Amino acid sequence: MSNAKIYTILVLVMLAWGLNVTLLKIIVSNGDPLTLQSVRILLAGITVFIILFFMKQKLYVEKMPWKYILLGSFFGVICHHAFLAFGIQQTTATKTAIISGLSPLIVALIAVIFKDTIMTKSKLIGFILGGIGVLIAVVRDFRELFQWEIGDILVFLSFFLQAFSFIAIRRGTKTISPLLMTAYMLTIGSLILVISSILINPVGLNSFATNDFTFWSVFLMSAILATGIGHSLYNLCIKHIGTAESAIFVNLNTVFALVGATILLTESMSVQQITGTTIIIIGVLVGTSNIESIILKYRTQKLNMNVEGNVVIGEREEHEQKI
């Protein structure tokens, strides 16, 4: 699969995830956040298994990479969503957006530590520009950056631990398909979350009995499209281009989240937000442009031209001496 196709898939996934931010705001305001999140993810896992069934792909293969499936499920589903559910309740949406904006850089650094990628200058510049763009787009009072509370720490842990799941996905998909990896990760992790949420809040499931058609439409769209299909496609991209390379696109979440809020919630975008989203887009373009290869290719071509020119001049001088 070409990089152009992979990048297109990643942009579409970020569009779904960005719009999903608005959908999640609607979902978690209608009941217990952990219960709603865990059931939503369980439905996403079941959706991926159904897709595998209709595609006539095996639901179980020999030598299943259980170690990586369980690690991915623990860090990417259980830890990420549990810490995020409790953290969001104790912090602001702005701080959550700031921390999530830093997550691509965290993912990249962990990928470098695990030797899953090489941090080039263009990638580093892309990650930094993305982080700066997120800060400009979502921060209204920069004093918030220096006021950390327990909720902020929980949200940070959710994204920090999720980064390890991407390493597990990269290793696991060397043995099985990204679709199968996603199905098992989501299902195993969500089942544990569902059991935990029932033990913590036994009446949490009552939320589903008191909601209307609008809630269920949003819930199903979020679970099936954004989480089930979205994570499957994202894990496919991780398999092909790597953990850090895929993470560069995550900052586009902020862009599409702001666009989604403008369209679905009739919120207006300020000049500051437009400036921030522009910097994010530039960061993605720089991070995926592989400037080093372009410069090396230019220098190689220039060197070859100089060598050819020197050869021609040398031959001309030799010919003149013979005459």
Per-position DSSP letters for 59-74, written without gaps between them: S--TT--HHHHHHHHI
Which parts of the chain sit beneath pLDDT 70? 92-94, 97, 141-142, 144-147, 261, 264-267, 290-323
Local structure of 297: helix, strand or coil: helix
> How many of the other CB atoms lie within 10 Å of CB of 293?
11
- Say if CB 122 and CB 286 are below 8 A apart: yes
- Residue 40, SS3 per DSSP: helix
Question: What pLDDT shows up at residue 297?
Answer: 61
**210 φ, ψ to 5°?**
-110, 10
For tokens 């089942």, name the residue: 191
| Residue 40 near residue 219 (C-beta atoms within 8 A) | yes
> How would DSSP label each residue in 159-216?
HHHHHHHHHHHHHHTTTS-HHHHHHHHHHHHHHHHHHHHHHH-TTGGGGGGS--HHHH
At 123, which amino acid appears?
K
**Beta strand residue intervals within the chain, DSSP E:** none
Find where tokens 């842990």 sit.
Answer: 157
d(CA 233, CA 9): 7
Nearest to 125 by CA among 139, 156, 104, 94: 104
Amino acid identity of 283? G
Check: CB of residue 188 under 8 Å from CB of residue 241: no
Locate the domains of the chain by residue range.
3-289, 292-323
Q: Rounded to whole angstroms, how far apart are CA atoms 128 and 209?
A: 45
Take residue 6 and report the two structure tokens written for it.
Answer: 């992979």
- What SS3 state is found at 86? helix
The predicted model scores a pTM of 0.78
- At 308 the pLDDT is 57
Cα(41)–Cα(61) distance, integer angstroms: 23
Rg of the chain (C-alpha set): 24
